[in-house]
Structure 1
Protein backbone atom coordinates (compact mmCIF):
# COMPACT_ATOMS: atom_id res chain seq x y z
CA UNK A 1 0.00 0.00 0.00
CA UNK A 2 1.38 3.40 -0.97
CA UNK A 3 1.57 6.13 1.62
CA UNK A 4 0.53 9.41 0.08
CA UNK A 5 1.15 12.93 1.38
CA UNK A 6 -2.65 13.29 1.43
CA UNK A 7 -2.98 10.88 4.38
CA UNK A 8 -0.31 12.55 6.53
CA UNK A 9 0.20 15.79 8.46
CA UNK A 10 2.38 16.96 5.55
CA UNK A 11 -0.82 17.57 3.52
CA UNK A 12 -1.54 21.02 5.01
CA UNK A 13 2.13 22.05 5.04
CA UNK A 14 2.38 21.13 1.36
CA UNK A 15 -0.90 22.86 0.45
CA UNK A 16 0.36 26.05 2.15
CA UNK A 17 3.60 25.90 0.16
CA UNK A 18 5.73 25.37 3.27
CA UNK A 19 7.70 22.34 2.04
CA UNK A 20 10.61 23.91 0.17
CA UNK A 21 13.64 22.53 -1.69
CA UNK A 22 12.71 18.87 -1.19
CA UNK A 23 15.53 16.35 -1.48
CA UNK A 24 12.86 13.82 -0.52
CA UNK A 25 9.07 14.21 -0.35
CA UNK A 26 7.62 10.72 -0.61
CA UNK A 27 7.09 7.52 1.27
CA UNK A 28 10.14 6.02 2.94
CA UNK A 29 11.25 2.37 2.95
CA UNK A 30 9.15 1.72 6.07
CA UNK A 31 5.59 0.74 5.08
CA UNK A 32 3.09 3.39 6.15
CA UNK A 33 5.67 6.16 6.66
CA UNK A 34 6.01 9.37 4.66
CA UNK A 35 9.17 11.45 4.86
CA UNK A 36 10.41 14.89 3.96
CA UNK A 37 13.92 16.31 3.70
CA UNK A 38 14.34 19.94 2.70
CA UNK A 39 13.31 23.26 4.22
CA UNK A 40 10.05 24.21 5.93
CA UNK A 41 8.81 27.78 5.54
CA UNK A 42 7.72 29.24 8.87
CA UNK A 43 6.97 32.86 8.00
CA UNK A 44 6.85 34.80 4.75
CA UNK A 45 7.59 38.35 5.89
CA UNK A 46 10.27 38.29 7.09
CA UNK A 47 11.12 34.92 5.51
CA UNK A 48 12.07 32.36 8.16
CA UNK A 49 12.68 28.70 7.40
CA UNK A 50 13.54 25.58 9.32
CA UNK A 51 16.64 24.65 7.38
CA UNK A 52 18.07 21.18 6.75
CA UNK A 53 14.77 19.71 7.92
CA UNK A 54 14.14 15.99 8.32
CA UNK A 55 10.61 14.88 9.13
CA UNK A 56 8.47 11.76 9.12
CA UNK A 57 4.84 10.91 9.75
CA UNK A 58 2.93 7.66 9.84
CA UNK A 59 0.01 7.08 7.47
CA UNK A 60 -3.24 8.39 8.96
CA UNK A 61 -1.50 9.92 12.00
CA UNK A 62 -2.54 13.45 12.99
CA UNK A 63 0.96 14.73 13.80
CA UNK A 64 4.55 14.40 12.67
CA UNK A 65 6.27 11.60 14.55
CA UNK A 66 9.73 13.12 14.02
CA UNK A 67 11.17 16.49 13.06
CA UNK A 68 14.67 17.92 13.11
CA UNK A 69 16.09 21.06 11.59
CA UNK A 70 18.03 24.23 12.18
CA UNK A 71 16.97 27.77 13.07
CA UNK A 72 19.33 30.74 12.91
CA UNK A 73 17.85 32.24 16.08
CA UNK A 74 16.28 30.96 19.29
CA UNK A 75 13.68 33.73 18.91
CA UNK A 76 12.28 31.85 15.87
CA UNK A 77 10.92 28.97 18.02
CA UNK A 78 7.42 30.50 18.38
CA UNK A 79 7.21 30.88 14.58
CA UNK A 80 8.12 27.19 14.23
CA UNK A 81 5.41 26.07 16.66
CA UNK A 82 2.84 28.38 15.07
CA UNK A 83 3.63 27.25 11.51
CA UNK A 84 3.47 23.57 12.40
CA UNK A 85 0.27 24.00 14.42
CA UNK A 86 -1.75 20.81 14.81
CA UNK A 87 0.81 18.87 12.75
CA UNK A 88 2.91 18.26 15.86
CA UNK A 89 1.93 16.06 18.79
CA UNK A 90 2.83 15.61 22.44
CA UNK A 91 4.49 12.23 21.85
CA UNK A 92 6.51 13.27 18.79
CA UNK A 93 10.31 13.69 18.81
CA UNK A 94 11.37 17.17 17.75
CA UNK A 95 15.04 18.20 17.64
CA UNK A 96 15.60 21.87 16.89
CA UNK A 97 19.18 23.04 16.42
CA UNK A 98 19.69 26.74 17.06
CA UNK A 99 22.70 28.73 15.83
CA UNK A 100 22.70 31.39 18.55
CA UNK A 101 22.65 29.02 21.56
CA UNK A 102 25.76 28.63 23.69
CA UNK A 103 27.58 25.37 22.88
CA UNK A 104 26.85 23.91 26.32
CA UNK A 105 23.11 24.65 26.13
CA UNK A 106 20.77 21.67 25.81
CA UNK A 107 17.16 22.22 26.79
CA UNK A 108 13.76 20.62 26.74
CA UNK A 109 11.15 23.27 26.12
CA UNK A 110 7.43 22.62 26.10
CA UNK A 111 5.68 25.10 23.82
CA UNK A 112 1.90 24.80 23.63
CA UNK A 113 2.00 21.15 24.68
CA UNK A 114 4.72 20.35 22.15
CA UNK A 115 7.99 19.04 23.62
CA UNK A 116 11.10 20.31 21.84
CA UNK A 117 14.71 19.32 22.27
CA UNK A 118 16.50 22.64 21.70
CA UNK A 119 20.17 22.17 20.97
CA UNK A 120 23.15 24.24 19.79
CA UNK A 121 24.67 23.86 16.34
CA UNK A 122 27.98 25.21 15.09
CA UNK A 123 29.34 24.75 11.61
CA UNK A 124 28.27 21.15 11.21
CA UNK A 125 25.12 19.94 9.44
CA UNK A 126 21.88 18.82 11.07
CA UNK A 127 22.46 15.43 9.45
CA UNK A 128 25.90 15.03 11.09
CA UNK A 129 24.55 16.31 14.42
CA UNK A 130 21.74 13.72 14.32
CA UNK A 131 24.11 10.86 13.48
CA UNK A 132 26.34 11.76 16.44
CA UNK A 133 23.49 12.64 18.78
CA UNK A 134 21.54 9.43 18.13
CA UNK A 135 24.66 7.22 18.02
CA UNK A 136 24.05 6.04 14.46
CA UNK A 137 26.66 4.24 12.36
CA UNK A 138 28.04 6.89 9.98
CA UNK A 139 29.65 4.27 7.70
CA UNK A 140 26.38 2.37 7.26
CA UNK A 141 24.45 5.61 6.72
CA UNK A 142 26.63 6.50 3.71
CA UNK A 143 25.30 3.43 1.88
CA UNK A 144 21.63 4.39 2.28
CA UNK A 145 19.46 6.48 0.01
CA UNK A 146 17.56 9.46 1.45
CA UNK A 147 14.44 7.41 2.26
CA UNK A 148 16.49 4.85 4.21
CA UNK A 149 18.42 7.61 6.02
CA UNK A 150 15.11 9.20 7.08
CA UNK A 151 13.91 5.86 8.45
CA UNK A 152 17.10 5.15 10.40
CA UNK A 153 17.20 8.68 11.86
CA UNK A 154 13.46 8.67 12.74
CA UNK A 155 13.78 5.24 14.37
CA UNK A 156 16.80 6.43 16.36
CA UNK A 157 14.92 9.54 17.45
CA UNK A 158 11.91 7.48 18.55
CA UNK A 159 14.14 5.57 20.97
CA UNK A 160 15.85 8.71 22.28
CA UNK A 161 14.89 9.48 25.87
CA UNK A 162 17.75 11.55 27.27
CA UNK A 163 16.49 14.26 29.61
CA UNK A 164 17.85 17.79 29.54
CA UNK A 165 17.09 20.78 31.69
CA UNK A 166 13.42 21.65 31.25
CA UNK A 167 12.98 25.40 30.87
CA UNK A 168 10.34 27.75 29.53
CA UNK A 169 10.82 29.59 26.26
CA UNK A 170 11.02 32.83 28.28
CA UNK A 171 13.78 31.41 30.51
CA UNK A 172 15.72 30.50 27.36
CA UNK A 173 15.45 34.09 26.13
CA UNK A 174 17.05 35.33 29.36
CA UNK A 175 20.00 32.97 28.81
CA UNK A 176 20.88 34.17 25.31
Structure 2
Protein backbone atom coordinates (compact mmCIF):
# COMPACT_ATOMS: atom_id res chain seq x y z
CA UNK A 1 0.00 0.00 0.00
CA UNK A 2 1.07 3.54 -0.74
CA UNK A 3 1.08 4.78 2.87
CA UNK A 4 3.24 1.83 3.91
CA UNK A 5 5.70 2.82 1.17
CA UNK A 6 5.74 6.39 2.47
CA UNK A 7 6.46 5.05 5.96
CA UNK A 8 9.36 2.88 4.73
CA UNK A 9 10.79 5.92 2.92
CA UNK A 10 10.57 7.90 6.19
CA UNK A 11 8.10 10.40 4.73
CA UNK A 12 5.64 9.94 7.61
CA UNK A 13 6.79 11.49 10.89
CA UNK A 14 5.27 12.47 14.23
CA UNK A 15 2.77 9.68 13.68
CA UNK A 16 -0.47 9.73 15.69
CA UNK A 17 -2.31 7.15 13.57
CA UNK A 18 -0.92 4.72 11.01
CA UNK A 19 -3.43 1.90 10.90
CA UNK A 20 -5.43 -0.30 8.60
CA UNK A 21 -9.16 0.29 8.52
CA UNK A 22 -11.45 -2.46 9.80
CA UNK A 23 -12.18 -3.62 6.22
CA UNK A 24 -8.42 -4.13 5.74
CA UNK A 25 -8.57 -2.56 2.28
CA UNK A 26 -7.51 0.94 3.29
CA UNK A 27 -4.89 2.61 5.43
CA UNK A 28 -5.33 5.72 7.59
CA UNK A 29 -2.65 8.18 8.65
CA UNK A 30 -2.52 11.20 10.95
CA UNK A 31 0.78 12.94 11.63
CA UNK A 32 3.22 15.01 9.58
CA UNK A 33 4.05 14.34 5.93
CA UNK A 34 7.55 15.25 4.73
CA UNK A 35 7.60 17.69 1.80
CA UNK A 36 11.34 18.47 1.69
CA UNK A 37 13.58 15.81 3.18
CA UNK A 38 16.51 16.58 5.42
CA UNK A 39 20.02 15.82 4.30
CA UNK A 40 21.65 12.49 5.09
CA UNK A 41 24.03 12.68 8.06
CA UNK A 42 26.87 10.29 7.29
CA UNK A 43 28.22 9.92 10.83
CA UNK A 44 24.90 8.92 12.36
CA UNK A 45 23.62 7.13 9.26
CA UNK A 46 20.29 8.93 9.49
CA UNK A 47 18.44 11.71 7.74
CA UNK A 48 18.42 15.09 9.44
CA UNK A 49 15.10 16.74 10.26
CA UNK A 50 12.97 17.56 7.23
CA UNK A 51 13.17 21.08 5.85
CA UNK A 52 9.41 21.32 5.21
CA UNK A 53 6.37 19.26 6.20
CA UNK A 54 2.63 19.16 5.78
CA UNK A 55 1.69 19.52 9.44
CA UNK A 56 -1.17 17.54 11.00
CA UNK A 57 -1.67 15.58 7.79
CA UNK A 58 -4.80 13.46 7.53
CA UNK A 59 -4.79 10.79 4.81
CA UNK A 60 -6.82 7.80 3.75
CA UNK A 61 -5.09 5.54 1.25
CA UNK A 62 -6.60 2.81 -0.89
CA UNK A 63 -3.98 0.62 -2.54
CA UNK A 64 -1.78 2.93 -4.58
CA UNK A 65 -3.86 6.15 -4.33
CA UNK A 66 -4.72 8.71 -1.65
CA UNK A 67 -8.50 9.06 -1.41
CA UNK A 68 -8.62 11.80 1.21
CA UNK A 69 -6.00 14.42 2.06
CA UNK A 70 -5.94 17.30 4.51
CA UNK A 71 -3.28 19.15 6.46
CA UNK A 72 -1.65 22.45 7.31
CA UNK A 73 0.97 24.29 5.28
CA UNK A 74 3.13 26.88 6.99
CA UNK A 75 3.20 28.93 3.78
CA UNK A 76 1.27 28.75 0.53
CA UNK A 77 4.63 28.51 -1.32
CA UNK A 78 4.80 24.87 -0.17
CA UNK A 79 1.78 23.84 -2.28
CA UNK A 80 3.75 23.36 -5.54
CA UNK A 81 6.25 21.21 -3.62
CA UNK A 82 3.38 19.02 -2.38
CA UNK A 83 1.92 18.79 -5.89
CA UNK A 84 5.28 17.80 -7.39
CA UNK A 85 6.03 15.17 -4.73
CA UNK A 86 2.58 13.69 -4.07
CA UNK A 87 0.17 15.01 -6.73
CA UNK A 88 0.38 11.89 -8.90
CA UNK A 89 -0.60 9.76 -5.89
CA UNK A 90 -3.96 11.51 -5.39
CA UNK A 91 -7.06 9.60 -6.50
CA UNK A 92 -9.28 11.29 -9.06
CA UNK A 93 -11.99 12.00 -6.47
CA UNK A 94 -9.54 13.42 -3.91
CA UNK A 95 -9.95 17.15 -3.26
CA UNK A 96 -7.15 18.10 -0.85
CA UNK A 97 -8.07 20.59 1.87
CA UNK A 98 -5.11 22.54 3.20
CA UNK A 99 -5.10 25.10 5.97
CA UNK A 100 -2.43 27.73 5.39
CA UNK A 101 -0.87 29.86 8.13
CA UNK A 102 0.13 32.74 5.88
CA UNK A 103 -3.30 33.23 4.28
CA UNK A 104 -6.22 35.09 5.85
CA UNK A 105 -8.69 34.29 3.09
CA UNK A 106 -9.85 31.02 1.54
CA UNK A 107 -9.54 29.94 -2.09
CA UNK A 108 -9.78 27.10 -4.56
CA UNK A 109 -6.82 26.69 -6.91
CA UNK A 110 -6.15 24.39 -9.83
CA UNK A 111 -2.74 22.77 -9.85
CA UNK A 112 -1.96 20.26 -12.62
CA UNK A 113 -5.68 19.65 -13.23
CA UNK A 114 -6.50 18.97 -9.56
CA UNK A 115 -8.61 21.30 -7.43
CA UNK A 116 -7.09 22.20 -4.06
CA UNK A 117 -8.91 24.04 -1.27
CA UNK A 118 -6.73 26.53 0.64
CA UNK A 119 -8.18 27.94 3.86
CA UNK A 120 -6.47 30.66 5.85
CA UNK A 121 -5.74 29.67 9.44
CA UNK A 122 -4.12 31.59 12.28
CA UNK A 123 -4.24 28.74 14.77
CA UNK A 124 -6.16 25.54 15.28
CA UNK A 125 -6.13 21.79 14.90
CA UNK A 126 -6.60 20.42 11.40
CA UNK A 127 -8.81 17.53 12.54
CA UNK A 128 -11.24 19.88 14.32
CA UNK A 129 -11.18 22.37 11.44
CA UNK A 130 -11.92 19.60 8.94
CA UNK A 131 -14.82 18.41 11.09
CA UNK A 132 -16.28 21.92 10.98
CA UNK A 133 -15.63 22.35 7.25
CA UNK A 134 -17.29 19.01 6.41
CA UNK A 135 -20.16 19.47 8.92
CA UNK A 136 -19.22 16.43 10.98
CA UNK A 137 -19.90 16.04 14.70
CA UNK A 138 -17.98 14.14 17.36
CA UNK A 139 -20.91 11.74 17.57
CA UNK A 140 -20.28 10.74 13.92
CA UNK A 141 -17.00 9.14 15.07
CA UNK A 142 -18.25 7.54 18.29
CA UNK A 143 -17.10 3.97 18.82
CA UNK A 144 -14.93 3.86 15.70
CA UNK A 145 -11.33 2.77 15.51
CA UNK A 146 -8.75 5.43 14.69
CA UNK A 147 -8.50 4.08 11.14
CA UNK A 148 -12.26 3.99 10.57
CA UNK A 149 -12.58 7.61 11.67
CA UNK A 150 -10.75 8.53 8.45
CA UNK A 151 -13.39 6.64 6.45
CA UNK A 152 -16.05 8.78 8.13
CA UNK A 153 -14.05 11.91 7.29
CA UNK A 154 -13.71 10.71 3.68
CA UNK A 155 -17.46 10.00 3.46
CA UNK A 156 -18.15 13.52 4.76
CA UNK A 157 -15.95 14.95 2.01
CA UNK A 158 -17.78 13.17 -0.82
CA UNK A 159 -20.50 15.84 -0.95
CA UNK A 160 -18.17 18.72 -0.09
CA UNK A 161 -18.66 21.66 -2.44
CA UNK A 162 -16.62 24.60 -1.15
CA UNK A 163 -17.97 28.00 -2.12
CA UNK A 164 -14.55 29.64 -2.25
CA UNK A 165 -13.61 31.42 -5.46
CA UNK A 166 -11.43 29.61 -7.99
CA UNK A 167 -8.34 31.81 -8.04
CA UNK A 168 -5.08 31.61 -10.01
CA UNK A 169 -2.24 30.42 -7.80
CA UNK A 170 -0.16 33.51 -8.58
CA UNK A 171 -2.95 35.69 -7.19
CA UNK A 172 -3.25 33.53 -4.06
CA UNK A 173 0.51 33.89 -3.50
CA UNK A 174 0.19 37.66 -3.75
CA UNK A 175 -2.31 37.61 -0.86
CA UNK A 176 0.05 35.76 1.48
CA UNK A 177 1.14 37.59 4.61
CA UNK A 178 4.56 37.64 6.27
CA UNK A 179 4.84 35.23 9.19
CA UNK A 180 6.96 36.00 12.24
CA UNK A 181 9.66 33.55 13.15
CA UNK A 182 8.82 31.18 15.96
CA UNK A 183 11.12 31.07 18.96
CA UNK A 184 11.54 28.51 21.67
CA UNK A 185 11.78 29.12 25.38
CA UNK A 186 14.02 32.02 26.29
**2:37 is equivalent to residue 33 of structure 1:** no
Query: d(CA) in 1 for partners of 2:127 and 2:87?
Result: 24
Equivalent of 1:20 in 13, 31, 48: 13
**2:46 is equivalent to residue 42 of structure 1:** no
CA contact (8 A) 1:110 1:168 kept: yes
CA contact (8 A) 2:19 2:146 kept: no
Q: More helix by proportion, 1 or 2? A: 1
Aligned length: 165
Query: d(CA) in 1 for partners of 2:100 and 2:10?
Result: 23
Counterpart in the other structure of 1:55:
59
CA contact (8 A) 1:89 1:114 kept: no
Counterpart in the other structure of 1:131:
131
Secondary structure of 1:77's partner?
helix
CA drift of 1:141 comes to 3.2
Query: d(CA) in 2 for partners of 1:25 and 1:75?
Result: 27
Query: d(CA) in 1 for partners of 2:110 and 2:2?
Result: 20
1:29-84 CA-to-partner distances (Å, cap 9, x unmatched) read: 3452211111100002571101111101223xx42110000011111111111221
Query: d(CA) in 1 for partners of 2:11 and 2:28?
Result: 14
Counterpart in the other structure of 1:3:
none
Where in structure 1 are there 5+ consecutive unaligned residues? 1-7
From the CA coordinates, give the structure whose radius of gyration is larger.
Answer: 2
CA contact (8 A) 1:29 1:151 kept: no
CA contact (8 A) 1:68 1:96 kept: yes
Relative to structure 1, the CA distance from residue 115 to residue 163 in structure 2 (aligned partners, 3 Å threshold; closer, same or farther) is same
Name the TM-score, length of structure 1 as normaliser. Answer: 0.83
Name the TM-score, length of structure 2 as normaliser. Answer: 0.79
CA drift of 1:21 comes to 1.9
Counterpart in the other structure of 1:82:
84
Relative to structure 1, the CA distance from residue 123 to residue 172 in structure 2 (aligned partners, 3 Å threshold; closer, same or farther) is same
Q: Which moved more, 1:50-59 or 1:87-96?
A: 87-96
CA drift of 1:98 comes to 0.3
CA drift of 1:11 comes to 4.3
